[in-house]
Amino acid sequence: MTPVVILGPTASGKSDVAMHVAREGGAQIVAVDAMQVYRGMDIGTAKPSRADRDAVAHHCIDLVDPAERFTVTQYKAAATAALDAIAAAGDRALLVAGTGLYLTAVIDDLTPPGEWPEVRAQLAAESDVAVLWARLVESDPVTAQRTDRHNRRRIERALEVTIGSGRPFSSFGPGTGAYPSNGVTQIGILWPRDVLARRIEARVHAMMAAGLLAEVRGLHERRALSREAQQALGYKELIDHLEGRTGFDEAVAMVVTRTRQFAVRQERWFRRDPRVQWVTVDADPVAEVTPVLRAALQHADRRD
């Protein structure tokens, strides 16, 4: 059975819409989120509540301990297994997507290049992301054009493949720049940017009130966060506070700022895909997007 996707930037309301529709029956949720795969990182990644997970089956959450490195290849394997299990149960899969690369890997059957741990370690030792960016521009200008110069994780990965394989990262097929017909309906949630910015600020303060600082402190004290997990929004900034590099108010303000910047990058990624059907929301994503998503699921049922 072909899945249906609801996507959008952080704080857009996609999880609320998905839960509302899934509760109506016949759909299970697959989380497409690079940080919700980590156990114990609950508040800062906005994982669904225990009540929501009891009411609707969720997949691809809490896959590994946060001390472990987790890759898109591992995510693709887990998501594919989940989709097979959902189809075997006779249900429809509803993918709730905030991480564009993970989504592409699943719906477009993207096969990432191999890994070169020694090269990765050498790149990680370079403290200045600008140096890495300059190396990427020189060695693979095509990939550099498609990559945010501040996204260290993506820059390192592109350099790892380029150096390790001896050929540019961009030479490994069309990758994320291709948008083949795959039969998957994608519904995107779009907010006016100023409104989304206010929603993000309110969400960050709600997370702080829910105990995000205590969650981060516990993980940090146990040295339970891998290098990748430490880059998660909210965790990185609060670790800086816990280690004395910033004050509390400054750290919270930085979480808000960086989350807004991240939301802009998410939206840019998704808007490159011409297959996404966008719904502009004025006030209530559940009320305004649910009819569109429900119709997409019904259409998929008739088609399959």
Q: Which structural domains are found in the chain, ordered by start?
A: 4-111+176-303 (3.40.50.300), 117-171 (1.10.20.140)
Mean pLDDT computed over 120-126: 92
Lowest mean pLDDT among 111-115, 231-235, 275-279: 111-115
Record the pTM.
0.86
Distances (CA, A) of 66 to 44, 154, 219: 13, 19, 9
Considering the chain, what percentage of its residues have pLDDT values greater than 70?
A: 98
Burial (CB count <10 Å: 0-12, 13-18, 19+), residue 189: buried
pLDDT mean across residues, the chain: 94
Give me 190's structure tokens: 């779009």
Considering the chain, what percentage of its residues have pLDDT values greater than 90?
A: 82
At CA 142, angle to CA 136 and CA 146, rounded to 5?
Answer: 85
d(CA 287, CA 121): 48
**pLDDT-derived band at 194, boundaries 50, 70, 90:** very high
**Residue pLDDT, tens place only, 7-48:** 999 999 999 999 999 999 889 999 999 999 999 999 999 999
The CB-side HSE value for 77 (13 A sphere, CA atoms) comes to 6
pLDDT the model gives residue 302: 87
Mean pLDDT computed over 273-296: 97
Mean pLDDT computed over 269-273: 94
pLDDT the model gives residue 23: 94
pLDDT the model gives residue 111: 79
**pLDDT-derived band at 170, boundaries 50, 70, 90:** confident
